[in-house]
Amino acid sequence: MGNTCRSAKCATASSPLSSKNPLPNSNTSSSTTSSKITSTTSVISSLPSFRSDTSANSNLKSFTLIDLKNATKNFRSESFLGEGGFGCVFKGWIDGHTFSPTRPGSGIVVAIKKLKRESFQGHKEWLAEVNYLGQLRHENLVKLIGYCSEGDNKLLVYEYMQRGSLENHLFKSGIQPIPWTTRVSIAVDVARGLSFLHSLEIQVIYRDLKASNVLLDSDFNAKLSDFGLARDGPTGDKTHVSTRIVGTRGYAAPEYIATGRLNVKSDIYSFGVVLLELLSGRRAVDEDRGSAEEMLVDWAKPFLNDRRKMFRIMDTRLEGQYSKKAAQAVAALALQCLNVDPRNRPDMTEVLATLEQLQTMKEVRTPRPNSK
């Protein structure tokens, strides 16, 4: 098929895309995967401001639509990777030096995200991605190689992440469970990415941290993807920015959902949820488990306060093959990140320091899984 997308529940493989479904109390029913939140309040612009010392496009390649059609074999079904609220993602091939399209098997593999033409919100998120990832470079952020903007055609070209999303590896049936040491390493990688964003002169609030937005390379190194909801943090003596409420059910901080007031501590809460997912192997929201265990945070929190009971939340697929001391430390850190009072949540630099210290423990230092 040509330029139409096949239906898919969410992006698969190395897609930098995830499903964007509204909350259960909206007109659209929710799925087992986490549901996208969008408030009906008036829209306040969420687009980032350009930093004065750099151009957003200076690091990016401007592709033509013909280039990307050639790179994906005209967006044929065999190039299809996945679909989400933004649009479809396709696998393509380009020359590693000139970035010209090449035949499959020649050059480097890239992931090409194609905006749905009717998506107004998707256009705003497309702009945000270009603005942020065009300026920011870090080993734990997915690299945006370039973009295409021709009329209604808006596309983004990313590095290809061979292992796909953390979501797939934690929750998809038939996939080998991630070993404990690799889970700790992934947590460190995510913390490094967030710490970088929060340490910028003008802080960047990621606002969409979740397992499906953490992508893994061939060696299980983790990178943050999908910056469509990111925005600049407060400046001067301001404590927060006020914005429309967007994010993902089960990950979004409760005070942000209640007030629309956003700061970096909202990201800390989301990170705490991801830590729980790494510990338990359970989704942030899973309606199949029944009301008592549907929300991971509500179910797990009572166990986190007790150093012995916390083992009840551990992923049974680990079969006990993990450092008990390290697991207790990660559980305690998750509890701090999930504090209902954002002022009592640690900064990302503190979180990163704690996790890096865990990595130095003798019983945690083992190789990542075989990358083959």
Is 130 within 8 Å of 57 (Cβ atoms)?
yes
Q: Which pLDDT score, from 0 to 100, does residue 93 have?
A: 96
Looking at residue 122, what is its pLDDT? 75
Binding site for ATP: residue ranges? 114
Token code pair at residue 230: 């990111």
Q: Which domains does the chain have, with CATH numbers?
A: 36-159 (3.30.200.20), 164-359 (1.10.510.10)
At 141-169, the pLDDT tens digits run: 999 999 999 988 999 999 999 999 999 99
**Taking CA 193 as the corner, what is the angle to CA 171 and CA 310, rounded to the nearest 5 degrees?**
45
- Rounded Cα distance between 282 and 174, Å, is 15
Residues making up the binding site? 114
Of 67, 189, 208, 286, the catalytic one is 208
| Beta carbons of 205 and 235 less than 8 angstroms apart | no
Q: Which range has the top average pLDDT, 37-46, 335-344, 356-365?
A: 335-344
Lowest mean pLDDT among 35-49, 62-76, 345-359: 35-49
**Does the active-site annotation cover 232?**
no
Residue 57's pLDDT is 53
Distance between CA 345 and CA 229 in Å, rounded?
22
**pLDDT band, very low/low/confident/very high, at 362 (cuts 50, 70, 90):** low
Average pLDDT over residues 19-36: 38
When mean pLDDT is compared across 119-123, 354-358, 359-363, the lowest value belongs to 119-123
Interval 165-176 mean pLDDT: 93
pLDDT at position 58, please?
Answer: 61
Note the pLDDT of residue 121. 64
Q: How far from chain centre, in Å, is Cα 68?
A: 25
What is the rounded average pLDDT for all residues in the chain?
A: 83
Is a pLDDT exceeding 80 seen at residue 204? yes
Which pLDDT belongs to residue 336? 98
Check residue 368 and give its pLDDT: 57
Task: Show the DSSP H helices in the chain as ranges.
Answer: 65-71, 120-133, 166-171, 180-198, 254-259, 264-280, 296-304, 324-337, 348-359
pLDDT of residue 54: 37
* AA letter at 13: A
**Considering the chain, what percentage of its residues have pLDDT values greater than 90?**
64
Element (DSSP H or E) covering residue 158? strand 153-159
User: Does the pLDDT of residue 10 top 60, yes or no?
Assistant: no
Nearest to 368 by CA among 225, 223, 218: 218
120: pLDDT confidence band, cut at 50, 70 and 90?
low
Q: pLDDT-based confidence at 273, cuts 50/70/90?
A: very high
pLDDT at position 38 over 50: no
Task: Give the Cβ contact number of residue 150 at 10 Å.
Answer: 12
Can you list the pairs that 296-303 forms with residues at least 24 positions away whose Cβ atoms lie under 8 Å?
296/250, 297/250, 297/272, 297/273, 297/338, 300/276, 301/335, 301/338, 303/331
Confidence of residue 87 (pLDDT cuts 50, 70, 90): confident
| pLDDT for 307 | 87
pLDDT band at 239 (very low <50, low <70, confident <90, very high): confident
Instruction: State residue 343's pLDDT score.
Output: 96
* Helix/strand/coil for 183: helix
